[in-house]
């Protein structure tokens, strides 16, 4: 952590991934996954999200997660189908939001450093590290690897440790109010993401 004699202005932009730097899953991708699972669209996504917290936190394996999703739908999926669903799931999250990335580049030009803090399972975490458009981000911190997910305080404390930063050194950006509130409890300046243009104003006035 930085000591009290160092500047207290933010030096890190710590950003959520999905819904901020990357786009949320498209309707086409979501329908493709439900169809492949031979499941009703709404039921599939209800089951998907119902089991997601444990998967994101690294508490269950890939196969256990998808088996639990299948069980909620009254189904049993083969290992091959599980592998395909997981691959499609990972791919569905990897579309960049170029406008937000431009704001991140402006932050670098203003002297800030970049990092990602994402609730992401291991397979998605590995994919994020392979994205060339995330190369300017010095750290990609994923919940499944640190075994703590937003909005838990432990997730943010671990992120601060990775950055070797005090709360005052960081601006955190997320598109979920619950995560923004969680970061604020530790004294981290936090911004609710409402679009790239708004983020630019929030960061730079």
Task: Tell whether the model's pLDDT for residue 81 goes beyond 80.
Answer: yes
Position 107 confidence tier, pLDDT thresholds 50, 70, 90: very high
CATH 3.40.50.1000 intervals, the chain: 12-24+96-204
Q: How confident is the model at residue 3 (pLDDT cuts 50, 70, 90)?
A: very low
User: What pLDDT is attached to residue 9?
Assistant: 66
Burial code (b: 16+ CB inside 10 Å, e: under 16) for 24-55 equals: ebeeebbeebbeebebeeeebbebbeebeebb
Work out the burial of residue 200: count CB atoms within 10 Å of its CB; fewer than 13 is exposed, 13-18 middle, 19 or more buried: middle
pLDDT band at 116 (very low <50, low <70, confident <90, very high): very high
What pTM, to 2 d.p., does this model score? 0.92
- Reported confidence tier of residue 205, pLDDT bands at 50, 70, 90: confident
Tell me the CATH class for 12-24+96-204.
alpha beta
CB-based contact 22:28 (threshold 8 Å) = no
Mean residue pLDDT of the chain comes to 95
Q: Is the pLDDT of residue 2 over 60?
A: no
* Predicted confidence (pLDDT) per residue in 120-143, tens digit: 999 999 999 999 999 999 999 999
Q: Give the tens place of pLDDT for each residue, 160-195.
A: 999 999 999 999 999 999 999 999 999 999 999 999
pLDDT, mean of residues 92-104: 98
Three-state secondary-structure class, residue 138: coil
Whether residue 7 is predicted with pLDDT greater than 50 in this model: the reply is: no
In a 3-state reduction of DSSP, which class is residue 15?
Answer: strand
Which of 40, 33, 31 lies closest to 84 in space, CA to CA? 33
């Amino acid at each position: 952590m930085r000591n009290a004699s160092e500047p207290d202005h933010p030096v890190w932009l710590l950003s959520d991934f999905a819904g901020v730097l990357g786009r949320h899953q498209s309707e086409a991708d979501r329908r493709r996954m439900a169809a492949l699972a031979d499941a009703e669209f709404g039921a599939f996504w209800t089951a998907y999200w119902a089991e997601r917290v444990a998967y994101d936190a690294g508490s269950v394996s890939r196969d256990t997660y998808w088996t639990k999703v299948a069980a909620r739908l009254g189904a049993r999926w083969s290992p091959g189908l599980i592998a395909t669903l997981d691959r499609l799931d990972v791919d569905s999250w990897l579309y960049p939001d170029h406008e937000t990335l431009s704001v991140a580049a402006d932050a670098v030009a203003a002297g800030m450093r970049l990092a990602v803090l994402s609730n992401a399972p291991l397979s998605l975490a590995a994919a994020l590290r392979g994205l060339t458009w995330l190369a300017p981000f010095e750290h990609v911190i994923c919940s499944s690897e640190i075994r703590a997910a937003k909005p838990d305080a432990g997730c943010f404390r671990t992120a601060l440790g990775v950055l070797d930063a005090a709360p005052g050194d960081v601006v955190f950006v997320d598109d979920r109010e619950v995560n923004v509130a969680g970061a604020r409890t530790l004294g981290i300046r936090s911004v609710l993401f409402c679009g790239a243009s708004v983020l630019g104003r929030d960061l730079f006035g």
